Chains A and B, each alone.
Chain A
Amino acid sequence: MKIDPKKCTNCGTCQPYCTVGAIAESGEGEVREVVEDECVECGVCLRADVCPVEAIYQQDLAWPRRVRQEFSNPLIRHPSTNIGGRGTEEMKTNDVTGRFQPGFAGVGLELGRPSIGTRFGDVQTMAQALASLGVQFEPQNPVTALMIDKRKGLLDPQILDEKALSAIIEFIIPLEKLEAVLGKIKEIAPKLKTVVTLDLISRVAEDGSIPTVAIAEGAGFTLRPNTKTNVGLGRPSK
């Protein structure tokens, strides 16, 4: 995103709207400007439509900078998933797709959210650590689509310094591997320059129990009381 210095009146109205605090006064203090390396191209400052002189504009984005917009602006469809947002349908349609089966856990790690943002170098650090445990990354996920070596969790080197509002690593593992994976996440998260928000998907057993709960608690995680629950009303039409 850019601010046209010829139009900007330095009123500062746009500044608090920036999701990552990347709008600042210019060196001379005469106008507001977007700090290019920090901007994640989410588009909020433009869509908020608060600039009284319409000085904010979206410049053409070439690769690799374009990856910022693809991961940060939910109105942009990911080329790899054909859906907006940063992830997949995951458990939202599991009653139809059967993607997550009993005996398995779905794991999602969202780096950068909320409001911190993440460099893809940090995403790679976490992906490499998980790959060392034999994790197979979700093939339809946008981060996986950027991997040049899925077995090692290596991303396209061109994007490692690019910054996004968040990026999600997704995979499915057998329940017996979950404890080790959660332990690895605990080990790696403090080494990152950003935050990692973690979620865990499970089928509900016939008796109403959720097999992942005891494993997560045993690994030292506290589960929040609010969840996402697929209530089972979907079915395939084929």
Chain B
Amino acid sequence: MTHTLHRRGEEKSLKEDYIMLVMPAQGFNMEGSEEKLRKVFEIISHYKVVNFGNARNGNSHRTTLDRLIKADNRIAHAVFQDRENLLGCLRELKEKDLGISVVISGLYGSVVQCCQSLGLKPHTVEHSLGTRGAVEKLPRAGVMEIITMCGHAMVSPNLVESLVEEVRANKRTVEEASLELSRLCDCGIFNPPRAAKLMGKLL
């Protein structure tokens, strides 16, 4: 549950972060979905995305869209940096009418606008109500904005801090550092350009 939901940050930053997740349902439309998911990756390849993939076949650091279009997938992820490409991809998915569930994580107002412009009515919504309990143990806010882009928490806060030091010491650029973080997110939902911007603020 929730692995794309709890991304943190200011709305200005979240405007550059939309995650699409396409998956069949076990026991309902899973059978024969492999071909449809290949089609989904083909559609995704028509648009500008900053990451993609799934845990089974790898993220954009380990595989390519060409390979995913030929692979057996059980889920498809893609990360968009702007609403225009998200909207285009969603429009094409609607036109192809594959019958597989599509979920968009991102600013709700923007997602609703995309849906409305395509004549879609949002079906179900999941809200984040934030984090409670021993919050004093959490990393500082700027680090949280970066690590929550991997919903399975594969990106360590200590690594973010360590890479910030390396950038300060001119051993890496923020772009290189953000790619090092992104490759650890197996599902391909991390947003490297956004991470680079956020790391820049930590310097």
Given contacts A94-B123, A97-B25, A234-B100, whether A221 and B130 have CB atoms under 8 Å apart is: yes
Chain A interface: which of B27-35, B64-72, B193-201?
B27-35
Tell me if B126 and A231 are in contact (CB < 8 A). Answer: no
Tell me if B1 and A231 are in contact (CB < 8 A). Answer: no
Residues from chain B with Cβ under 8 Å of A216 in the complex: 127, 129
**0/1 string, B14-29, CB within 8 A of A gives 1:** 1001000101111011
Complex Cα gap A237–B101 (Å): 12
Tell me if A233 and B153 are in contact (CB < 8 A). Answer: no
Say how far B162's CB is from chain A's closest CB, in angstroms: 4
Complex Cα gap A199–B149 (Å): 16
Residues from chain A with Cβ under 8 Å of B21 in the complex: 92
Say how far B189's CB is from chain A's closest CB, in angstroms: 11
Residues from chain A with Cβ under 8 Å of B131 in the complex: 195-198
Q: Which B residues, 138 to 193, have Cβ-Cβ distances below 8 Å to chain A?
A: 138-139, 144, 147-148, 152-159, 161-162, 184, 186-187
Complex Cα gap A226–B127 (Å): 7
Say how far A103's CB is from chain B's closest CB, in angstroms: 13
Closest residue of chain B to A192 (Cβ to Cβ) is B133
**0/1 string, A212-238, CB within 8 A of B gives 1:** 110010000111111111111111111
Given contacts A93-B24, A170-B1, A186-B132, whether A237 and B153 have CB atoms under 8 Å apart is: no
Say how far A82's CB is from chain B's closest CB, in angstroms: 7
Given contacts A231-B115, A237-B29, whether A113 and B153 have CB atoms under 8 Å apart is: yes
Residues from chain B with Cβ under 8 Å of A180 in the complex: none
Residues from chain B with Cβ under 8 Å of A20 in the complex: 156
Tell me if A16 and B126 are in contact (CB < 8 A). Answer: no
Tell me if A234 and B55 are in contact (CB < 8 A). Answer: no
Closest residue of chain A to B32 (Cβ to Cβ) is A237
Given contacts A18-B156, A116-B137, whether A228 and B109 have CB atoms under 8 Å apart is: no
| In-complex Cβ contact of B107 among A16, A110, A225 (8 A) | A225
Complex Cα gap A14–B95 (Å): 47
